[in-house]
């Protein structure tokens, strides 16, 4: 099973603030929805709760929430207590590409464990204040393929480039 992260990341590594996003980029959201559709998505409990209630669990995807809280319940989603358990559950379901969808703690743990094969990164042309971060060193030495780019406009707060970073072969 391939393990992929998918994230929109500012030049300073910021991905969020006060458990919310810090920009509006509808075409990036569309990319996220299209790319993860039909797959298992693994989310930290905080990121899960940042999704507006009417949109969670994310439809058309198997949602797995990671929390240390043994009593946590998320209707319509699986709840597990480690990232490894989340990935094992995705494998048991026969998943071929499992998406780690954040937030900062979960991205970092997946990358530091060396479990990630692909990083779909929307590089956002901004350096906002924030309190959640993607590890900027995450794609150092990885090959990259530009998928699309977009200028800032009336619907998009910032310009961005969506890049697929691929783990170098050993």
Ligand X SMILES: NC(=O)c1ccc[n+]([C@@H]2O[C@H](COP(=O)([O-])OP(=O)(O)OC[C@H]3O[C@@H](n4cnc5c(N)ncnc54)[C@H](OP(=O)(O)O)[C@@H]3O)[C@@H](O)[C@H]2O)c1
The pair of three-digit structure tokens given for residue 167, joined into one six-digit string: 């783990």
Q: Which lies closer to ligand X via its Cβ, residue 87 or residue 95?
A: 87
Query: One symbol per residue from 117 to 146: x for binding ligand X (CB under 6 A), - otherwise; what is it?
Result: ---------------x--------------
Binding of ligand X by 68 (CB under 6 A): yes
Binding of ligand X by 78 (CB under 6 A): no
Could you say which of 7, 42, 110, 111 contacts ligand X (CB under 6 A)? Answer: 7
Binding of ligand X by 103 (CB under 6 A): yes
**Distance from C-alpha of 50 to C-alpha of 67, rounded to nearest angstrom:** 14
Binding of ligand X by 165 (CB under 6 A): no
Neighbours of 109 (CB within 10 A): 16
**In Å, how far are 15, 64, 96, 157, 162 from 126, measured between CA atoms?**
11, 30, 33, 9, 14
Q: Which lies closer to ligand X via its Cβ, residue 22 or residue 62?
A: 22
DSSP 8-state assignment for residue 160: E
Q: Please give the radius of gyration of the chain, using alpha carbons only, rounded to the nearest integer.
A: 15
**Distance from C-alpha of 91 to C-alpha of 159, rounded to nearest angstrom:** 36
Binding of ligand X by 45 (CB under 6 A): yes
Residue ranges that bind ligand X, judged by CB under 6 A = 7-8, 15-17, 19-21, 44-47, 50, 66-69, 81-83, 101-106, 109, 132
């Amino acid at each position: 099973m391939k393990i992929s992260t998918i994230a929109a990341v500012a030049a300073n590594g910021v991905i969020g603030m006060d458990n919310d996003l810090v920009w509006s980029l509808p075409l990036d959201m569309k990319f996220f929805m299209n790319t993860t559709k039909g797959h298992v998505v693994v989310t930290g409990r905080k990121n899960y709760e940042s999704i507006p209630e009417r949109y969670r669990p994310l439809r058309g995807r198997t949602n797995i929430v990671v929390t240390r809280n043994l009593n946590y319940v998320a209707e319509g989603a699986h709840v597990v207590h480690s990232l490894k358990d989340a990935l094992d559950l995705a494998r048991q379901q026969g998943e071929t590409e499992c998406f780690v969808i954040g937030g900062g703690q979960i991205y970092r743990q997946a990358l530091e464990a060396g479990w990630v094969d692909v990083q779909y990164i929307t590089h956002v042309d901004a350096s906002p204040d924030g309190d959640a971060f993607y590890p900027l060193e995450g794609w150092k030495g990885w090959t990259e393929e530009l998928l699309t780019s977009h200028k800032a406009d009336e619907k998009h707060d910032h310009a961005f480039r969506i890049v697929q970073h691929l783990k170098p072969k050993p």
